[in-house]
Amino acid sequence: MIKKISAFLLFLTIISSPLSSFDLIPAKGLILSPGKWATDYAINYQTSIRGYSNQETIEPQGTIRYGLLSDIEVGLAGVFQASRNRLLVDQSLQQSSSQIFKEAQAYIKLLFRSEDSLPGLLGTLKTSLWETSELSQDNKTWYKPFHFKTWQFEITIIKTEDPLVFTMTSGLLIQEERMVHQTPIDAGNLFFIQPVFHFLINDAASLSWGILFASSEAPKINGVLIDIPRNTVTWQFGSSYSISRFWAINFTFYADVSGTGSNSMVGRMSYEL
């Protein structure tokens, strides 16, 4: 039982990390102008290898964004997830796969101050309106929805020194305790800092590179620790290109360098209506 729930906690931590955040730095501005609509389409591929366990995940995402005021943007996002797990147990290969509607998320962005001689300041609040958790035990699988159990708070500093744009995002991911198959699970909260440099090649194209520092609390089952707190470091490399005044694309690769064996690649396309 503990081993199965431990696997579930690892799964929960992976999908709830800042790397799965919906709003990567957009290719065309930080927030939308008042009255403007935009849609984002993304695919996130992630692979994680730990010991004799390998998990692959593909997540198509769709986001609707709206410029509410000159300094406020709101949005709704949905994520579908297809995953495959391979695990070597007692010299026997075990495989499983699942396809679920993973999450519906709402967010609000607030531009506290525009950039001038001082850096700009952007705040973001996100919550999961719906998130599906999965637990497998004794060849059975349970799916259970949760509402408003995950919250993420972010503050981003923006400073431009042409042709460079520097962004520094600090955030806290709060994962409230939840009951899965009559078992209280606390996946632990996570704090992260993400400095990124964006190099503006021209008015349409840019390159980015940065690093993500994340520190997560130890997960618990029934109040008992089942793992240690973890600090991770992930490199980030990306590129953005504005195809036209309406379309923009972005590709970002994340490479873990702290030994967790997790890497991901995100392709994103934005369309401003």
Q: For each of the domains in the chain, give its residue range(s) and CATH number, in order of start.
A: 2-272 (2.40.128.130)
pLDDT of residue 17: 44
pLDDT of residue 10: 35
The 8-class DSSP code of residue 8 comes to H
pLDDT of residue 134: 67
Strands 178-180 and 183-186: antiparallel
Distance between CA 106 and CA 76 in Å, rounded? 5
Q: What is the mean pLDDT of each run of 10 residues along the chain (273 residues)?
A: 38 38 47 92 89 87 94 95 84 82 94 89 94 68 83 94 92 89 83 94 90 91 83 92 86 87 88 85
The 8-class DSSP code of residue 47 comes to E
Distance between CA 141 and CA 122 in Å, rounded? 41
Count of CB atoms within 10 A of residue 1's CB?
Answer: 10
For residue 162, report the phi and psi dihedrals to the nearest 5 degrees: -45, 125
Residues 187-210 as b/e (b if ≥16 CB within 10 A, e otherwise) read bbebebebbbebeeeeeeebebeb
- pLDDT per residue as tens digits for the range 83-120: 888 887 777 788 878 888 999 999 999 999 988 888 99
Distance between CA 129 and CA 145 in Å, rounded? 10
